[in-house]
Structure 1
Amino acid sequence: MVNSPTLCTLRKQILPEAITSLITATALLLGSPGPATLGLAGIGATSGFKNGLPFLTGILTGLIVVILGTALGLASLFEAFPSVRITVQIIGALYILYVAVKIATAPHQSTAASSAPPRFIDGFILNLLNPKAYAALLGLFSQFLLPTPSVPMAFLSTAVICFTVAVVVDTLWLALGGAIRPCLQQPVQARMIRVVFAVLMVVAVLWAFVQ
């Protein structure tokens, strides 16, 4: 039988590698192009980093709910009852389409002071109904759960790291859009970039359906 000190030593040796793997996997899964990240980039490009912060905050708040739901077995429920998962996917796809249209049709800010980018509630609902988020978190919790002494601590520490990485990558997507905004001062160019990001959001949704 392996004694307790040996187990503690093994955990200390394995934990840094497990954390590195978790961070890498989270960045790839949650930071890859999808409805939320593309929406952030589109808003940053057309409305600016500061004006996109409410949408970013909504997305991250929605992600907290997704993390809690996944940890409590909501994602497993989707796997056990495909009809529930399909229903949420359809509702989510329709809402993402609504946000995409809102981004694509927003007036150019230099000519329309009343232009309003998607709000906190838009980001919150978008990520709450984003099938990619549930699938990604289910994979992370099932494959990269940190080897801590207790199961609750494993889920808590894994969730904290996942959320922290999401904050970084989502902020970078918004900043990326904000960085290219000065290149889009002309209304026609701004319209084109909005439409491109909106189309990419729709493509990302369609891609999730065929997986």
Structure 2
Amino acid sequence: MVSFDTLLTFVGAATLLAWVPGPDNLFVLTQSAFFGRAVGMYVTLGLCAGLIVHTIAVSLGVAAIFQTSQTAFDALKIIGAVYLLYLAYKAFTSEPDEPESRRERAKPAWQMFVRGVVMNVTNPKVAIFFLAFLPQFTTPERGSVVLQMLTLGGVFIVCAFASFALISVLSGSLSRWLQRSSQSRLWLNRAAGMVFVGLAVKIATSHR
């Protein structure tokens, strides 16, 4: 089992890292501001579900493939970049609908959940990060390393959920102001599209 002191240090590091600007928290921020805090929470749950996949993969050693195989790494990051560009296209081409109709389109929770999952799972940098980060807090003398890494991954997910949920609440409060007029909604569409393009470029140009 992970020692209490190590766990406290890990919680501090995980919380800090969750707030460092990156694809996941920026994704939560834009979706919350665009559709409201409830949608931001759906995206947050999706992202955390993706983190579960990465935690299990790293703990079982599967993520090592992405560290040793350039082809696997490139394939996954291309999938992620293409998906983000698709979201950017949808944002750039969407019309500034009335707030009521926009909320209707944003209602399906499963769609926003899936967006979060895809966003996280198709980012190979998360798997590489977990592969490099989690083992630093394990001690073979304290038992199964796999169990320790699963525990640490679970703690990281809790920290990420708390941080992303707070981001969702804070940015979601902007949605009321941004949706008062068609002009503000149009600019929000464009801003969201630019963020998606930026994230796509970031993932596409990432290196192992």
User: Normalising TM by the smaller chain, what interval?
Assistant: 0.7 to 0.9
Structure 1 stretches lacking a partner, 5+ long = 1-10
State the shift of 1:64 in Å: 0.8
Aligned-partner SS, 2:176 = helix
Amino acid across the alignment from 1:206: V
Amino acid across the alignment from 1:112: S
Structure 2 stretches lacking a partner, 5+ long = none
Q: Which one of 66, 69, 90 corresponds to residue 81 of structure 1?
A: 69
**Residues 115-124 or 151-160, more deviating:** 115-124
State the shift of 1:148 in Å: 7.0
State the shift of 1:182 in Å: 2.6
Aligned-partner SS, 1:57 = helix
Aligned-partner SS, 2:21 = coil
Q: Which one of 122, 131, 134 corresponds to residue 124 of structure 2?
A: 131
Q: Which one of 45, 51, 63 corresponds to residue 57 of structure 1?
A: 45
Q: TM-score, normalised by structure 1?
A: 0.79
Identity of aligned residues (%): 24
- Aligned pairs for 1:163-202 within 5 A: 163-184=157-178, 185-202=180-197
State the shift of 1:108 in Å: 3.9
- Aligned pairs for 1:121-160 within 5 A: 121-145=114-138, 149-150=142-143, 151-160=145-154
Amino acid across the alignment from 1:110: P
Measured in 1, the distance between the counterparts of 2:95 and 2:23 equals 17
Superposition RMSD on alpha carbons, in Å?
2.7
1:58/1:123 contact within 8 Å kept = yes
Return the index of the structure with the highest Cα Rg: 1
What's the counterpart of residue 11 of structure 2? 23
What's the counterpart of residue 78 of structure 2? 90
Measured in 2, the distance between the counterparts of 1:108 and 1:136 equals 39
Measured in 1, the distance between the counterparts of 2:119 and 2:26 equals 12
1:47/1:109 contact within 8 Å kept = no
Measured in 1, the distance between the counterparts of 2:26 and 2:122 equals 15
What's the counterpart of residue 99 of structure 2? 110
Deviations 1:136-162 (A, max 9, x none): 312221333367711233213211211
1:91/1:129 contact within 8 Å kept = yes
Equivalences, count: 199
Distance 1:191 1:91, change over 3 A: same
Measured in 1, the distance between the counterparts of 2:191 and 2:150 equals 38
Aligned-partner SS, 1:23 = helix
Distance 1:96 1:125, change over 3 A: same
Deviations 1:46-105 (A, max 9, x none): 211123333222222122111111211222111111111111111111112223444553
Q: TM-score, normalised by structure 2?
A: 0.80
